[in-house]
Amino acid sequence: MPKKITKKEKLGTVQSDFINLASHQLRTPLSGMRWLLELLQKENLGPLNKKQREYIEKIYSSNERMIALVNDLLEVTRMEEGDIKLYLQPTDVVPLINSIMREKEKEIKKKKLKVSFKVEQEPFPTVKTEPNKIKQALSNLISNAVTYTPENGHVDIELKTMDDAALFKIEDSGVGIPKDQQASIFEKFFRGANVLKFENIGTGLGLYITKAFIEASGGKIWFKSEENKGTTFYFTLPIMK
């Protein structure tokens, strides 16, 4: 006898289908906007004055957030459909972290943050993961640390070996996670109450996706946090043998 589909399951399927369709339909116009804005920024269509450049940079930034949201929604849809297989391969994570830090350099300088990256040994052993996916996971964790740490705070990244795994540590002196909300931190669309006051732009999907990518690589993720004192995320990835 066929399993009876509940109203909740049916609604979930409709929601996933809608998100999938809407996200795919949004990708093309958003990519087109990015291309046109980049043409304007490069002054291919004529010189810009200071005010025009400022407005274009704001539009570009908003468009990039929309593209990131669409990509996250599509990633979540694939996860829910069971399509979370990663192409695991030898990956050097050190240049990935350095690349993310360069991408965040402007915000780091603006907030006068002290940021460090320590590697136990060089060359560091390669890990088994998919480079693009783990870069996204690392970017989510490092971006959160930078975004939710007040001016003159610190963000410390460490990479070392632990048995047959690489251990990643991302520590910040930021707003922290309220104790009564810590059990929900990896849930889809969850955002802490104190974070909403600090920064209202975000989807609540970053940590959900990060956890999925790390676990699909054979790793584990956990954290410790105290409100108004900071958060430290840890995760492991298997070392290639």
Nearest to 174 by CA among 192, 162, 158: 192
Residues 43 and 148 in one domain: no
Q: Interior CA angle at 74 toward 194 and 62, to 5°?
A: 55
CA distance 178 to 226: 7
CA distance 157 to 94: 11
Residues 215 and 100 in one domain: yes
Task: Read off the pLDDT of residues 92-128 as tens digits, 9 standing for 90 and up.
Answer: 999 999 999 999 999 999 999 999 999 999 899 999 9
What pLDDT shows up at residue 20? 59
Residues 62 and 95 in one domain: no
Residue 1 included in any domain: no
**Structural domain that includes position 31:** 7-80
pTM: 0.78
Those residues whose C-beta lies under 8 Å from the C-beta of residue 241, and which sit 6 or more positions away, are 164
Residue that finishes a domain, picked among 21, 49, 80: 80
Residues 105 and 142 in one domain: yes
Which residue bears the tokens 């809407």?
22
What pLDDT shows up at residue 232? 98
Please state, in angstroms and as integers, the Cα–Cα distance from residue 75 to each residue in 114, 136, 206, 221, 235, following that order. 32, 11, 10, 19, 20
When pLDDT is averaged across residues 208-218 and rounded to a whole number, the result is 92
Q: Is 66 exposed, middle or buried (0-12, 13-18, 19+ CB in 10 A)?
A: middle
| 105-171-75-212 Cα dihedral, nearest 10 degrees | 150
Band (pLDDT 50/70/90 cuts) for residue 13 is low
